[in-house]
Every structure is written in C-alpha cells, then in structure tokens.
Chain A
Amino acid sequence: MGRVETPSRESLETERAFIVQTVGRSEAALRSDAVSGALAGDEWRALERLDAIAFLLGETDNVSG
C-alpha cells in the first residue's frame, strides 16, 4: 500500500484497446450508454477504468460525468 506506479503511454493505450474490445463497442458508444443508463454491470467497471486511463494520458475532456 502507498505505492506509486508510472504506467507508460503504450501500456495505457494497450489496456484501453483491450477494454474496448472486451465490451464490444466503441468508447464513445459506451459513454453514451452510461448517460442513458444503459450499461450492463461489468461495463460500469470498464467505464471507471477508461476514465482513469484518459486522466493518466492527459485527456482531461474525455471523462464521464
């Protein structure tokens, strides 16, 4: 506990691609479904991680609200 990791840009982008592939639709579609309350259970966890990845990559606009 209390560790700080510094993931690389490449590893974050790879992780994001894997998540998008797993949920089976684009990140934009996933975010749109979140707004309309249409996410399946595990997709909430995927969205949480995509938000974190966007922040870690410096894409501050690309987060859910």
Chain B
Amino acid sequence: MPQSLEAKVVDFARELSDTVSGTLPGAPGFDAEATVRGDGYFVRPTGDDGLATRIPLHVNGQRLAEFSAQIYLDQDSSRTYLKNVRSDFAAYSVLDKQPLFRLDYRADMHSAPAAHWQVHAERGSLTHLLAMSQAHRPRSVSAPHLLSRLHFPLGGERFRPCLEDLIQFFIEECGVDPVAGWRDVVDEGRERWRRKQLRSAVRDLQAEAADVLRAEGWRVSPPADPASERTNSLREW
C-alpha cells in the first residue's frame, strides 16, 4: 500500500531531527503543520513549549547564534509526492537578533536565483559599486546599496546545497560545536540528498540518462510513450 503524504512528512521530519541531533548539540526535533486545505506542510524545529523554534549554535558551550530551518512542502503535479517548494535556512546573531546570512530556496522564484545566499554584512567598496550601478534603474532594485539584497546563485533547483552542507559550514568554517560523530551524519545525509536530486534530474532528462547508460554498456529501451524533457531546472538560475 502506498505511503500517505502525512506518513511521508513524518518520515521527513524524523530524518531532519536525526540529522540535526546527530550534528549540533542541543538541537530540537522537527515537527510539521499541515495547510488548512491539507495539500501542503510546513516543517520546522519545535521547542519545549510546542512552538516553532530555532536550533542553538554553540561555540565552546556558549550559545552565540541560532539556526533557523524552515521547509515548505507541497504536493507535486501527480499528487503522489511531496515537493520542496521553499526552504529558509538562516543564521541569526544572539546579540542583535539580526540575520548573519541566509540560504534560501524558492521553487517559484524567477526574478532572483531559485537557490541563493544572502549575506547580511556590508563592505564599503561593494556598497559604492552597487549604488552607482543600480542608480539607472531605481524602481527595479530596492535598497540597491545593501549587500544583503544580493542573491548569490547556487545551482538552481537540482544542484543547490543541502542542509548537511550548511551544517558542515557551521562546524568547519564558523567553528560551531559539533556532536561527536557528526561527519558521518553529514556525509550520509548529503549522499541521500544528492541521490534524490540525481533521480529527479534523470526523470527530467530521461533520454539523456539513457544515452549515458548505453555508452556505459547498459541496454536501455524507451517506454511506449516517453515523457518529454523538462529542462526548466537546467535553464533557470
């Protein structure tokens, strides 16, 4: 019997909980809220009070930052699978409670890259460049002088970074305290993610995948009614 969408969400939330609890000390578990129409889910960490919360980031045991991780799921066109339509990952300072940087994904984003970093910092020379270069189109760019308004592209829907990449960044680049054995959890989760993304890419480009397999010696024959290529994920930034 096929797994219900809700059962899939439960599995997904547990997988996220295992990933963060296996990498970051004191991380809460993930739960989900269903949309009022029952066709989508919002997945986020839950605090002891039962409300949405953030994941603490410690350095030498001191809580210096917080990790906000929120994932929006919707049914795909077949109404069989859940599709990640949006994820918001961000690090916040505990000093001023402002974002430090954000790793966002929006499936329906077209004006900015679907997957992108936003860095909440300033550098005078870049601010100068942006203010000068955007001066001729003031209505199309809001707050052009802010570095945080830049969306650094990250490979689009299929080739964007995963949660595990960000966790490794926190630990190895930012010096955040890890849980013992964190690297295995990150590596295994990243492999799961990339295998899923690869399968999605193969579904998008079946003839391309078949060509590669034939070149490697596989015998592959097309179905009676092959799906047409879906190249949007390759063409959009």
Contact = CB atoms under 8 A, between A and B. Distances in A.
A12 B146 CA distance: 33
Contacts of A3: 10, 13, 31-32, 46
A65 B149 CA distance: 10
Given A3-B32, A5-B32, A35-B143, 16 more contacts: A1-B30, A2-B30, A3-B31, A4-B31, A4-B32, A5-B33, A6-B36, A7-B33, A45-B97, A51-B88, A52-B44, A52-B52, A52-B70, A55-B35, A56-B34, A56-B35
Given A1-B14, A1-B30, A36-B142, A48 B37 contact: no
Nearest to A45: B97
B99 to A, nearest CB: 6
Contacts of A1: 13-14, 17, 28-31, 46
B78 to A, nearest CB: 19
B13 to A, nearest CB: 5
B37 A58 contact: yes
Contacts of B112: 65
A56 B17 contact: no
A61 B46 CA distance: 26
Interface of A: 1-9, 12, 35-37, 39-42, 44-45, 48-49, 51-52, 55-58, 60, 63, 65
| Interface of B (DSSP majority class) | mixed
Contacts of B134: none
Interface string B84-113: 001010001000111100000010110010
A37 B6 CA distance: 37
B161 interface: no
Interface in B1-45: 6, 9-11, 13-14, 17, 28-38, 40-42, 44
